[in-house]
Chain A
């Protein structure tokens, strides 16, 4: 057994070739995480938040107009601003945790499937309660705007649902101090900004993008396809667009400079002769290519050709492994939010 060759150890060491990537790995200059955090905050999170905030304000105005006078024209206007705001949401949602989990924006704005029975029978439901996450947000609007015979019947509720979520408080908190605290928390503990952001982002990628938008409707977690669990099933032409928006948000975040890709490259992280950043980017590209060939509506896709959606799931899953196992290991990012001893 080779382990017993203690005495031959030096010979073994000098005769075996070091792995080819070993000589190339020279991490000369150190990587500036503070600059990366500032870039994330100012060039990604803030613009995404502002774009979404503007689109959501337009949605609120359109909903108000429609509630005041539910004309066909106002409905067209409202549906257009709904689509726009829902799309902007996909670009912001991965970073909602950076702004603060306490606002519960992901839960309140995009819990689906929406509960259509309760939407119809409980118009008084208190939208601040977590138990009512499934009768509000974009999924509820999707149903009321596209799934009912006459949306005008619900015009007041539509406006209430839109206005129930307040973006001003989180926006102000982020602008006045939140952003600065985020950027200055540049250490490497489990609660530091880099660690938290990356953990949040991977969680979003895993739960919302991979499972929520694709895996669950494709029946990965159940037996057989579940068209009713797809995103935006009533609009019927939006799910793929929303997915691609969400994927783009994560891909752009990963690849933007200075970001995770440049961080990995600065540490010369290579796996079997290829940069890990390239492997991950190739994974995003593959997922995008597979999604682009799908039906605009995933609820339709799972009933016509679910295999294609399962293939998209596999592409997304391959990158979960690269992000969660390989990238976290390479960057030394803590998975657990609470520190514990090691040895």
Chain B
């Protein structure tokens, strides 16, 4: 296990990660999403146990600025450990502010930055010549590889279900809607193309980690990574995710490849320092850090990474329907879920009832997410109860009339309409108040 190797892959990974994060924050900010997602709404959907995490009003901009600054430091390797800590805390805080915006790739970034916190990566870029590469232990690089490989492989496992493979859902819904895609538009209307995309997508996710690991297929596999992610970028609104995955996949290349990139980066860095007449750089540290304790958090984190996605096995009911254990488990692009939830407040003292316009409290995006996810419906129901208590109804009852259509099935009633949501606790099993799914989805 004590293999010593060039630290170039870590330096390149750190630089690429920092750059991608910086671009992500800039893009998010310039799209006006900080305002739209975290300042405009009056109500936010919180994660269990993180109810205290909320947007900070105008200070939310400062939070984003701090995270961007941390990403910058990570990129150039300045105060790397502190920057990574700040980045992890700041980015995770942002993601916990409202679960409406949950994306698997945000979770990927949070978890990855926590892993990076325990991996010692040399500061700066090392010397300009290849001989001046800092050294590290191979286990750190392997940890990153395993981390990325699990994401792909688990995403592939999740596609092994009857909706994806036998019905080509939800691709059969999404692809025809992309009729205006250049060159592909007409092809995307064809049924066989939907199946081809589904099967190829599942095969890609399951096999790509191994193709990247094996030296003889590595270059071809990387080309596949680029093609696959660019295609998903063209077809789906998935933001920075494809680029982040392309950069992450570089970790599978050997040290010689990274050494060239590192030397190039170091050269640019030196030119830049000369131009601004900076003091000469101190040579980067002599070698890797031998702190054994680091292997403990790294191992624990990887173990968590491997086990946590399977927590859904502890819950009864169809996962796609209850979403109990759906998030944080690398289930990407598996569902097209649409819903409609109409809340009714009943005052038991005089039996008066009021129908709520969700848009009085929620943005269009929040309403859309709320109407298909039980935990959102329950939290909003509780919020409405508080709201109407404030308005003078002593003991409001909250009922919801809701319908959900999953992967092209006919819409079906979702929450039991006779259940008063006020009587349901956040920790109560969801199957007690959610109606059962009328169909069966086979597979993982």
- Interface pair A16/B365, CB less than 8 Å apart: no
Instruction: Give Cα A322 to B333, complex, Å.
Output: 23
- Interface pair B239/A325, CB less than 8 Å apart: no
Per-residue B-contact encoding for A1-42, CB less than 8 Å = 1, 0 else: 111101001001100101100100111111101000000000
Question: Among the listed A3, A22, A28, A332, which residue makes an inter-chain contact with B444, where contact means beta carbons less than 8 Å apart?
Answer: A3
- Interface pair A223/B191, CB less than 8 Å apart: no
Max chain B CB contacts within 10 Å: which of A30, A31, A186, A269?
Answer: A30
- Interface pair B177/A331, CB less than 8 Å apart: yes
Q: Within 8 Å of chain B (Cβ to Cβ): is A165?
A: no
- Shortest CB-to-CB span from A223 to chain B, Å, is 4
Q: Within 8 Å of chain B (Cβ to Cβ): is A329?
A: yes
Q: Within 8 Å of chain A (Cβ to Cβ): is B54?
A: no
- Interface pair A321/B340, CB less than 8 Å apart: yes
Q: Within 8 Å of chain B (Cβ to Cβ): is A187?
A: yes
Instruction: Give Cα A267 to B408, complex, Å.
Output: 12
Q: Within 8 Å of chain B (Cβ to Cβ): is A222?
A: yes
- Identify the stretch in B159-167, B261-269, B275-283, B382-390 within 8 Å (CB) of chain A at 4 or more residues: B159-167
Which residues in window 133-173 of B have CB below 8 A to A? 160, 162, 165-167, 172-173
- Interface pair B411/A343, CB less than 8 Å apart: no
Known contacts A27-B191, A325-B403, A328-B338; is A343 also within 8 Å of B177 by CB? no
- Interface pair A332/B186, CB less than 8 Å apart: no
- Interface pair A325/B340, CB less than 8 Å apart: yes
- Shortest CB-to-CB span from A326 to chain B, Å, is 5
Q: Within 8 Å of chain B (Cβ to Cβ): is A188?
A: yes
Which residues in window 346-365 of B have CB below 8 A to A? 350-355, 364-365
Q: Point out the residues of chain A lying under 8 angstroms from B403, CB to CB.
A: 321, 325
Q: Point out the residues of chain B lying under 8 angstroms from A339, CB to CB.
A: 237
- Interface pair A329/B338, CB less than 8 Å apart: yes
Per-residue A-contact encoding for B428-444, CB less than 8 Å = 1, 0 else: 00000000000000111
- Shortest CB-to-CB span from B235 to chain A, Å, is 11
Known contacts A2-B442, A27-B176, A329-B338; is A335 also within 8 Å of B368 by CB? yes
| Interface size band for A | 35 or more
Q: Point out the residues of chain A lying under 8 angstroms from B338, CB to CB.
A: 324-326, 328-329, 335
Q: Within 8 Å of chain B (Cβ to Cβ): is A238?
A: no
Instruction: Give Cα A31 to B185, complex, Å.
Output: 11
Q: Within 8 Å of chain A (Cβ to Cβ): is B104?
A: yes
Q: Within 8 Å of chain B (Cβ to Cβ): is A341?
A: yes
Instruction: Give Cα A283 to B404, complex, Å.
Output: 18
- Interface pair A326/B410, CB less than 8 Å apart: yes
Question: Among the listed A13, A25, A186, A330, which residue makes an inter-chain contact with B442, where contact means beta carbons less than 8 Å apart?
Answer: A13
- Interface pair A340/B33, CB less than 8 Å apart: yes
Which residues in window 179-196 of B have CB below 8 A to A? 179-180, 185-186, 189-191
Instruction: Give Cα A26 to B101, complex, Å.
Output: 35
- Interface pair A221/B354, CB less than 8 Å apart: yes
Question: Among the listed B191, B236, B411, which residue makes an inter-chain contact with A26, where contact means beta carbons less than 8 Å apart?
Answer: B191
Q: Within 8 Å of chain A (Cβ to Cβ): is B405?
A: yes
- Interface pair B179/A342, CB less than 8 Å apart: no
- Interface pair B165/A13, CB less than 8 Å apart: yes
Known contacts A267-B176, A332-B176; is A340 also within 8 Å of B405 by CB? no
- Shortest CB-to-CB span from A336 to chain B, Å, is 4
- Shortest CB-to-CB span from A329 to chain B, Å, is 4
Cβ-closest chain B residue relative to A8: B442
Q: Within 8 Å of chain A (Cβ to Cβ): is B103?
A: yes
- Interface pair A335/B185, CB less than 8 Å apart: no
| Interface size band for B | 35 or more
- Shortest CB-to-CB span from A61 to chain B, Å, is 40
Q: Within 8 Å of chain A (Cβ to Cβ): is B55?
A: no
Q: Within 8 Å of chain B (Cβ to Cβ): is A68?
A: no
- Shortest CB-to-CB span from B185 to chain A, Å, is 7
Instruction: Give Cα A28 to B193, complex, Å.
Output: 11
Question: Among the listed A3, A329, A331, A340, which residue makes an inter-chain contact with B365, where contact means beta carbons less than 8 Å apart?
Answer: A340
Q: Point out the residues of chain A lying under 8 angstroms from B174, CB to CB.
A: 332
Q: Within 8 Å of chain A (Cβ to Cβ): is B332?
A: yes
- Interface pair B364/A342, CB less than 8 Å apart: no
Cβ-closest chain B residue relative to A343: B103
Which residues in window 187-242 of B have CB below 8 A to A? 189-191, 236-241
Instruction: Give Cα A340 to B403, complex, Å.
Output: 23
Q: Point out the residues of chain A lying under 8 angstroms from B180, CB to CB.
A: 186-188
Instruction: Give Cα A6 to B158, complex, Å.
Output: 11
Instruction: Give Cα A13 to B239, complex, Å.
Output: 34
Known contacts A18-B167, A29-B189; is A321 also within 8 Å of B313 by CB? no
Q: Within 8 Å of chain A (Cβ to Cβ): is B305?
A: no
Q: Point out the residues of chain B lying under 8 angstroms from A168, CB to CB.
A: none
Q: Point out the residues of chain B lying under 8 angstroms from A9, CB to CB.
A: 160, 443-444
- Shortest CB-to-CB span from B36 to chain A, Å, is 7
Which residues in window 187-233 of A have CB below 8 A to B? 187-188, 220-223
Q: Point out the residues of chain B lying under 8 angstroms from A326, CB to CB.
A: 338, 405, 410-411
Q: Point out the residues of chain B lying under 8 angstroms from A28, CB to CB.
A: 189-190
Q: Point out the residues of chain A lying under 8 angstroms from B381, CB to CB.
A: none
- Shortest CB-to-CB span from A115 to chain B, Å, is 22
Cβ-closest chain A residue relative to B24: A341
Question: Among the listed A322, A332, A335, which residue makes an inter-chain contact with B411, where contact means beta carbons less than 8 Å apart?
Answer: A322
Known contacts A188-B178, A320-B340, A325-B340; is A336 also within 8 Å of B410 by CB? no
Q: Point out the residues of chain A lying under 8 angstroms from B104, CB to CB.
A: 343
Q: Point out the residues of chain A lying under 8 angstroms from B364, CB to CB.
A: 335-338
- Shortest CB-to-CB span from B97 to chain A, Å, is 15
Q: Point out the residues of chain A lying under 8 angstroms from B160, CB to CB.
A: 6, 9
Cβ-closest chain B residue relative to A187: B180
- Shortest CB-to-CB span from A210 to chain B, Å, is 11
Other A-B contacts than A12-B442, A187-B180, 13 sampled, CB-CB below 8 A, are A12-B443, A13-B443, A16-B162, A18-B166, A22-B166, A30-B186, A31-B179, A222-B354, A324-B340, A326-B410, A332-B173, A341-B240, A342-B238
- A-B residue pairs, 3 tightest by C-beta: A332-B177, A341-B239, A271-B410
Interface set of A (CB-CB < 8 Å, partner B): 1-4, 6, 9, 12-13, 16, 18-19, 22, 25-31, 33, 186-188, 220-223, 267, 269, 271-272, 320-322, 324-326, 328-333, 335-343
Residue pairs across A and B with Cβ atoms less than 8 A apart, 25 shown, are A2-B442, A3-B312, A3-B444, A4-B313, A9-B160, A9-B444, A16-B442, A25-B191, A27-B190, A27-B191, A29-B189, A30-B186, A30-B189, A188-B180, A221-B354, A223-B353, A269-B408, A324-B338, A329-B408, A330-B173, A337-B364, A338-B36, A342-B238, A343-B238, A343-B241
Interface set of B (CB-CB < 8 Å, partner A): 33, 36-37, 101, 103-105, 160, 162, 165-167, 172-174, 176-180, 185-186, 189-191, 236-241, 312-313, 332-333, 336, 338-340, 350-355, 364-365, 368, 403-405, 408-411, 442-444
